[in-house]
Amino acid sequence: MFNLSSDRRFGRFFIAPALLEEIRAGCDVDMFHNMEVVQTMHDLLTDRIEYFAVHPDFEAIPQGTRVPLYEAVFTPSCAYPTWKKTPD
């Protein structure tokens, strides 16, 4: 596992609650594989959840910088996503 305090591999991403329900309903997808979720916020206007997390796929960031946005990339042969950094 990685060290939350020293690796600084922070990232943020959005998930619609409906997608989480689909994943929980029987998909063999582990959305949060090898991830530590640090904070979540539910935006009621857009009905999506913003997650702040630490993951080995996220790039290490210096202290005091903005946490970058990532998107999940799914492949049919894998039970969990990889994470791709997106432009803000």
What are the φ and ψ backbone dihedral angles of 33, each rounded to 5 degrees?
-60, 125
pLDDT recorded at residue 5: 54
Calculate what percentage of the chain has a pLDDT beyond 70.
Answer: 83
For the chain, how many structural domains are there in total?
1
Which residue segment(s) compose the domain that 15 sits in? 4-85
Q: What is the pLDDT of residues 28-66, one digit of tens each?
A: 667 788 899 999 999 999 899 999 999 999 999 998 999
Distance of CA 22 to the CA centre of its chain: 17
pLDDT recorded at residue 12: 96
Q: What is the pLDDT of residues 1-25, one digit of tens each?
A: 556 556 789 999 998 887 777 666 5
In this structure, the number of other CB atoms found within 10 A of the CB of residue 67 comes to: 15
